[in-house]
Amino acid sequence: MSLALDQAQLALTTADVPIGAVVLGPDGEILGVGRNEREAHGDPTAHAEVVAIRAAAAKLGEWRLSGCTLVVTLEPCTMCAGAIVLARIPRVVFGAWDEKAGAAGSVFDVLRERRLNHWVEVFPGVREDECAALLRDFFSIHR
């Protein structure tokens, strides 16, 4: 989670919402990192999770990220949860809950939806206070 928090901090340099993500391989190797880059690139799909998943797939030369773990500072949204399922990532670890748009148990539970072809093990609340504080601080300035 430290690496994901570092990425979240870097998102602040481009006025993006401070969310960071890391994809770890089965052996713990860092395969991809990402941070929100929507403002930086004008891309609505440039969420931290998607950026990290793309980097990991490029490094492996394979779209299936079986055996990998995604660590992210905020509960994934529905778009990111869909990308996680499609990438066949078996585990997601996240920090803060997203009570407005979360799709890993708060608003929706896409990652554990039994009607889909892949299910994800979810480990919520890791360093939750730190992850939530970073977002609270950001939005207190921008609202």
Q: Which residues are known catalytic residues?
A: 49
Name residue 72's amino acid.
Answer: V
- How many Cβ atoms are within 10 Å of 66's Cβ, its own excluded? 12
Is 68 within any annotated ligand binding site? Answer: no
Residue 88 Ramachandran class (φ > 0 left, ψ -120 to 50 alpha, else beta): left
Is 41 within any annotated ligand binding site? Answer: no
- How many Cβ atoms are within 10 Å of 124's Cβ, its own excluded? 16
3-state secondary structure of 34: strand
Cβ-contact 73, 1 below 8 angstroms: yes
Q: Is 111 exposed, middle or buried (0-12, 13-18, 19+ CB in 10 A)?
A: buried
| Residues annotated within a binding site for Zn(2+) | 47, 77, 80
| Residues annotated within a binding site | 47, 77, 80
